[in-house]
Chains A and B, each alone.
Chain A
Amino acid sequence: MTSTQLFNAVTLAYFASMVLFVVYLATRSRAIALGANILAYVGFVVHTAAIGVRWSETYKLLGADGYAPLSNLYESVVFFSWTILLIYILMDLKYRQRSIGAFVLPFAFLSMTWAQLRLNDAIEPLVPALQSNWLTYHVITCFLGYAAFAVACGVSIMYLIKAGREEKSPEDSPAGGILGLFPSTKVLDDMNYKAIMIGFPLLTLGIVTGAAWANYAWGTYWSWDPKETWSLIVWFIYAAFLHARFTRGWVGKRAAWLSIIGFAATLFCYLGVNLVLSGLHSYGGS
């Protein structure tokens, strides 16, 4: 079994899980929600195995020059999708709110589809600059942070939908139908905050490991390279978010919007910088 075949199975599982989550919102059947969740968990396990298989494939193909599969755009997008599921599962274990899956799984599914349809999945030996263990630490911390922000963004979208509907029909039967399955706005708001609370220290760690690596590799821990600057922009936005929590006016809707803007900036930091701007993080060109 090759990693590519396994990744295909993962994409399929996430797709099915996503569809079932949507069906769950429509039918409110607990059995379907359970099925969707089982598919998401199984997909995650296969995903983990597939990354392991690709890791060993690099050694089969390149001998001693094998590497942890985190080094090009394809591998990073696949890993991003894996971290989204990881954070989702952590949230699921804590909150047991199945409807969130409908807003988180699409991020994971779209990442996998994009990686498989549009990105180059060839295993190629690493250029000298990438031959460093710092690469692994840097990528893992950054992407766990990104994934937490993705989950926060999904939850914020749910918040805005639910809060918007409740404002329109302020009767005490808060939004029947689909919205009845959403956690309460209070819980959604709290989950948004919690996810960012997890993501922020991870992003900080990601920036620090990147700086440490840059300093070790070429003597400059910070050079205002576009990627570095964008990671700092993201850091500023979430720092603003966390401080905004302490003032009363910035909970709820404004916090949700800030979280969505933060994730848009995160996506641009991750992809836009590689695809649009030039700089040291050039794997996006591949």
Chain B
Amino acid sequence: MTAKEKSFLTSVWDFLCSLKLTITTLILLAVTSIIGTVVQQNLSPQEYLQVYTEKTYKFLDSLQFFDMYHSWWFLSLLGLFSLNLICCSIKRFPRVWNTVMHPQLKGDDALFRTLSNADEVVTGGTMDEAAGHLRSFVQKHFAGAVETREDDRIYLFAQKGPYARFGVYVTHLSILIIFVGAIIGNIWGYKGYMNVVEGTSADTVRLFGTNEAVKLPFAVRCDRFEVSFYEGGGRPKEYVSDLVVLDGGQEVLKKTIEVNDPLSYQGITFYQSSYGPAGEPSFKMRVRTRSTDEVNEYVARQGEHVALPGGRSFAVTASTPSYDRFGPAIQMHVNTADGQHGNPFVVLQNFPEFDAQRGDEFIFSLLEIKQRYYTGLQVAKDPGVWVVWLGCFLMIFGSLAAFFISHRRIWVTLQPVNGKIGVRIGGSAHRNQPAFELFFDDFKAKLKDELKA
């Protein structure tokens, strides 16, 4: 390797480690992310052409602005961000590891020159007595101290919160872990939907985006779907589905799901997301024949002709869950024996005797409108999600440690000076220096009092 090559590699390395690069990438990520919130993402070309001219559309499309969070340039920016994170952590980590694992135990002259919090006192007695005394003092007011003897000097060292130094690296690592989790989810997971009609089962998921069909290793049956509304208004209160998982034909799991409470089986989760009517509704009817007082019950499908006693028939042509403020209602008519349509009329479920006023031979009451629904399930499989949560946990834990815990150290050095003992004390904190200064001044004053006494 020539010197020139080496200096080139060094400068690349320095570039990748630099804090300037970090700040620049963070700001670039922030600025470019705005694009995706202004330009709607992942619509169809037709939808875009309603908003943009064809020229603009083609231009924005070539820049991948329509799926920009997956565009090559945004992903490269994230890649550069990760690389920067890794490089600067590698560069700085060994020094921090050394500081924590091999702390400087001896407060020598060179060290004291670098400390802004330091002082000196002179005291009497023997070295051993003074050292013992000071050790218990440091223990009482700060933390347990390590003693080192060298030549005629005795060194004491005590520290608190050394692991706070790793907080920032835990935070950096957590970001990479979250990326890994996201990548795992993208490669081995999927997201899609399936509609299950009440009373039936389904085992095929349609993926979002591609609409590709994925067959599940089990089936999901929907026994019931229900939507309920708050009183006196159309505000939905709850969507509920009773789901049953059928594995190898066996019912293995039953759960009532609703929004915010999904069902999970074998790493695949089913979320209540939509619903809709399945097929035409059917109607449970009671018919009283006026002349004979005979009462019959029928179940009629919409549009179906149902025979009545004496050769006539009826059909329900429409229904609504609320007819003005009178509740559920149907529209129906009665046919003559030779198939001629009678006039349509309305039957209200909440007023079963109302139809008698029509004065006809048959008096209709609506007992129930039976509408089958399908439940719309969103289906997600994400094997990376636990990795992401681990990353999130580490990120919060790491940033709290990095911001709010300070690594504080105190050195005490004893040396004989003209038949007396010279005591030097010094301290440093890697964060929140003003608070440490206050602590150290107090500590110093107490120590002086102690030595005078």
Is chain B found bound to chain A in the same assembly? yes
Which residues on the A side are within 8 Å of B364 (C-beta)?
none
B269 close to A277 (CB less than 8 A): no
Which residues on the B side are within 8 Å of A267 (C-beta)?
none
Given contact pairs A212-B389, A222-B182, A237 touches B403 in the complex (Cβ within 8 A): no
B403 close to A128 (CB less than 8 A): no
Interface residues of B in 3-39 (CB under 8 A from A): 19-20, 22-23, 26-27, 29-30, 33-34, 36-38
Which residues on the B side are within 8 Å of A277 (C-beta)?
37-38
Given contact pairs A219-B271, A243-B26, A197 touches B403 in the complex (Cβ within 8 A): yes
Which residues on the A side are within 8 Å of B269 (C-beta)?
219
Chain A nearest CB from B375 CB (Å) reads 13
Interface residues of A in 175-228 (CB under 8 A from B): 190, 197, 200-201, 204-205, 208, 211-212, 215-222, 224, 226
> Is B191 in the interface zone, CB < 8 Å from A?
yes
Interface residues of A in 111-152 (CB under 8 A from B): 124-125, 127-129, 131-132, 134
Of B44-52, B134-142, B213-221, B258-266, the one with at least 4 CB within 8 A of chain A: B258-266
Given contact pairs A128-B258, A197-B403, A229-B37, A218 touches B389 in the complex (Cβ within 8 A): no
A244 close to B23 (CB less than 8 A): yes
Q: Of all chain A residues, which has the CB nearest B192?
A: A219
A222–B392 alpha-carbon span in the complex (Å) = 13
B37 close to A127 (CB less than 8 A): no
B30 close to A237 (CB less than 8 A): yes
Which residues on the A side are within 8 Å of B38 (C-beta)?
277
A224 close to B403 (CB less than 8 A): no
Interface residues of A in 237-254 (CB under 8 A from B): 237, 239-240, 243-244, 246-247, 250
Which residues on the B side are within 8 Å of A65 (C-beta)?
230, 237
B260 close to A217 (CB less than 8 A): yes
A220 close to B191 (CB less than 8 A): yes
Given contact pairs A211-B392, A247-B20, A219 touches B378 in the complex (Cβ within 8 A): yes
A224–B38 alpha-carbon span in the complex (Å) = 12
A127 close to B36 (CB less than 8 A): no
> Is B170 in the interface zone, CB < 8 Å from A?
no
Which residues on the A side are within 8 Å of B262 (C-beta)?
216-217, 219
B396 close to A201 (CB less than 8 A): yes
Over the window 84-104 of chain B, the binary record of Cβ atoms lying under 8 Å from chain A Cβ atoms (1 yes, 0 no) is 000000000000000000000
A220 close to B230 (CB less than 8 A): no
A239 close to B26 (CB less than 8 A): yes
> Is B238 in the interface zone, CB < 8 Å from A?
yes
A218 close to B403 (CB less than 8 A): no
> Is B249 in the interface zone, CB < 8 Å from A?
no
Contact of A125 among B27, B37, B237 (CB under 8 A): B237
Over the window 385-406 of chain B, the binary record of Cβ atoms lying under 8 Å from chain A Cβ atoms (1 yes, 0 no) is 1001100100110011001100
Q: Of all chain A residues, which has the CB nearest B388?
A: A221
A201 close to B260 (CB less than 8 A): no
Contact of B27 among A230, A232, A237 (CB under 8 A): A237
Chain B nearest CB from A155 CB (Å) reads 16
A240 close to B260 (CB less than 8 A): no
> Is B83 in the interface zone, CB < 8 Å from A?
no
A236–B237 alpha-carbon span in the complex (Å) = 38
> Is A273 in the interface zone, CB < 8 Å from B?
yes
> Is A233 in the interface zone, CB < 8 Å from B?
yes
> Is B235 in the interface zone, CB < 8 Å from A?
yes
Contact of A216 among B260, B382, B388, B399 (CB under 8 A): B260
Which residues on the A side are within 8 Å of B182 (C-beta)?
222
A81–B27 alpha-carbon span in the complex (Å) = 29
Which residues on the B side are within 8 Å of A220 (C-beta)?
191, 380
> Is B236 in the interface zone, CB < 8 Å from A?
yes
Which residues on the A side are within 8 Å of B399 (C-beta)?
200-201, 204
Over the window 247-286 of chain A, the binary record of Cβ atoms lying under 8 Å from chain B Cβ atoms (1 yes, 0 no) is 1001000000000000001000000010001100000000
Contact of A128 among B41, B239, B400 (CB under 8 A): B239
A212–B385 alpha-carbon span in the complex (Å) = 10
> Is B283 in the interface zone, CB < 8 Å from A?
no
Interface residues of B in 252-301 (CB under 8 A from A): 258-260, 262, 269, 271, 273
> Is B69 in the interface zone, CB < 8 Å from A?
yes
A127–B260 alpha-carbon span in the complex (Å) = 11
A221 close to B385 (CB less than 8 A): yes
Which residues on the B side are within 8 Å of A217 (C-beta)?
259-260, 262, 271
A219–B268 alpha-carbon span in the complex (Å) = 10
Most chain B CB atoms below 10 A, which of A211, A212, A215, A277: A215
Chain A nearest CB from B43 CB (Å) reads 12
Which residues on the A side are within 8 Å of B392 (C-beta)?
208, 211-212
A243–B340 alpha-carbon span in the complex (Å) = 85
A215–B262 alpha-carbon span in the complex (Å) = 10
Contact of B395 among A190, A204, A278 (CB under 8 A): A204
Q: Of all chain A residues, which has the CB nearest B400?
A: A201
Which residues on the B side are within 8 Å of A134 (C-beta)?
260
Which residues on the A side are within 8 Å of B237 (C-beta)?
65, 125, 128
Which residues on the B side are within 8 Å of A232 (C-beta)?
33
A215–B380 alpha-carbon span in the complex (Å) = 9
B27 close to A236 (CB less than 8 A): yes
Chain B nearest CB from A241 CB (Å) reads 9
Which residues on the B side are within 8 Å of A236 (C-beta)?
26-27, 29-30, 33
A–B Cβ pairs within 8 angstroms, 9 of them: A125-B235, A197-B404, A200-B403, A201-B396, A212-B392, A216-B262, A218-B273, A219-B378, A244-B23
The residues of A with any CB-CB pair to B shorter than 8 Å are 65, 124-125, 127-129, 131-132, 134, 190, 197, 200-201, 204-205, 208, 211-212, 215-222, 224, 226, 229-230, 232-233, 236-237, 239-240, 243-244, 246-247, 250, 265, 273, 277-278
Besides the contacts A131-B260, A197-B403, A201-B403, what 8 more A-B pairs have beta carbons closer than 8 Å? A125-B235, A217-B262, A218-B380, A224-B36, A224-B69, A233-B34, A247-B23, A277-B38
